[in-house]
Amino acid sequence: TGDCATAASGSVFIHAKEGESISVAETHVCLGDSGHLFMPLTEIMAEKNSNVTLVRAIRGSNTAYQLGQLHVCQLDSSEVQTHTITLASKVSRNEVSAYLDGEHIESNFDGMYMLGQDQQVDNHLRIEHNYPNCNSREFYKGILDGNAKSVFTGRIYVKEGATDTDAKQTNQNILLSDDANAIARPQLEIYNDEVACTHGATTGEIDEEAKLYLRSRGIPADAAEALLMYAFLNESLDHLADDGFRKTLTDELLSAMPGGDFIRTL
C-alpha cells in the first residue's frame, strides 16, 4: 500500500493430501506512512504422511497493524513446520491454533522478532495433543530495543488418553534498552501422566564478556554487538530444513539488522 490509510484481509488454504510435500513462503509488507490494517488467515490441512513447510516474513511500518491467524490440522504421521519472522509493525499479533488429530505427528512452530521504538509483537499459540505418540515444539526468540514490547503466550493441551506426548515450549529474549519489555506466559494443561512436557523462558542482555572477547580480536563494538545479535537469532533459523527458505529469512534478517552488511562480508 502507499500513502492512503487502508484495511485488507487475505486468506490462504494449504491442503497437503496423503503423501504430499508442500512448501509455501508468505511476505507481508506495508509501505507509506498512513495507517494500515492487515488481517491475514492461513489454514493448513495435513493429511496422513504429508509434509508442510510454511515461512512468513512480516515487514510493516510504525503505522501498520497486523492481526494474523494460523490454523493447523494434522492427521497420522504428518509433519508441519512453520517459521514466522517479524521485523517491524506498530502492532503485530500472530495467533496459532494447531490440532494434532492423529498419531506419530511432528509439529514445529518457530519464530523470531526484532523490534524497536514503540513497536509490539504478540505471539499466541495453542497446541492440542488429541492422540498418543505425538511431538510438538514452540521455539521463539526476539531482540527488543527502545520501548518495544513482546508477549509470548503458549498453551500446550494434552487430552486424556494422549499418552507418550512430547511437547516443548521455549521463549528467549534480549533487551537492548531499559525501556523494552518482554512478557512470557507458558502454559501447560495436561490430563495424562505418561508425557514429557517442558517450558522455559529467559530474558537478558547482550553478553558483555562475549562482546569484549570479540573486541579484543579487533572487531569494532557495533560490529561485535551485531554478530552476537545475529548468532542469537540464527539459532531459530537453524531449525529450518529447507535451505532456500533459510537463506530467504537470513537475507530478511540481515537487511533489517544494524551491522547486517558487515555480517554478509564474513
Range of the domain at 14: 6-205
49 close to 21: Cβ distance less than 8 angstroms = no
**Is residue 170 scored above 90 in pLDDT?**
yes
* Cα dihedral sign, 63-25-250-140: positive
**Is 31 part of a structural domain of the chain?**
yes
> Three-class SS of residue 263?
helix
**Is 241 part of a structural domain of the chain?**
no
Instruction: Point out which residues pair with 127 in neighbouring strands.
Output: 98, 156
Buried b (16+ CB within 10 A) or exposed e, 83-97: bbbbbbbbbbbbbbb
**Is 211 part of a structural domain of the chain?**
no
Measured CA distances, 7 to 44, 61, 70 (Å): 24, 14, 19
CA 36 to chain CA mean position, Å: 22
Per-residue pLDDT at 32:
67
pLDDT in tens, 10-39: 899 999 999 999 999 988 877 667 788 889
**Is 113 part of a structural domain of the chain?**
yes
Start-to-end Cα distance in the chain = 35
Q: Indicate the helix (H) or strand (E) that contains 249.
A: helix 243-256
Measured CA distances, 13 to 42, 220, 237 (Å): 6, 47, 24
Lowest mean pLDDT among 55-64, 160-169, 170-179: 55-64
**Is 223 part of a structural domain of the chain?**
no
**Is 245 part of a structural domain of the chain?**
no
pLDDT in tens, 133-167: 999 999 999 999 999 999 999 999 999 999 999 99
Total number of domains constituting the chain: 1
Q: How far apart are CA 132 and CA 94, in angstroms?
A: 27
* Cα dihedral sign, 160-161-163-165: negative
Instruction: Point out which residues pair with 113 in neighbouring strands.
Output: 86, 142
Using only C-alpha atoms, what is the Rg of the chain?
A: 19
**Is 227 part of a structural domain of the chain?**
no
**Is 84 part of a structural domain of the chain?**
yes
pLDDT in tens, 208-233: 999 999 999 999 888 899 999 999 98
Q: Indicate the helix (H) or strand (E) that contains 8.
A: strand 6-16
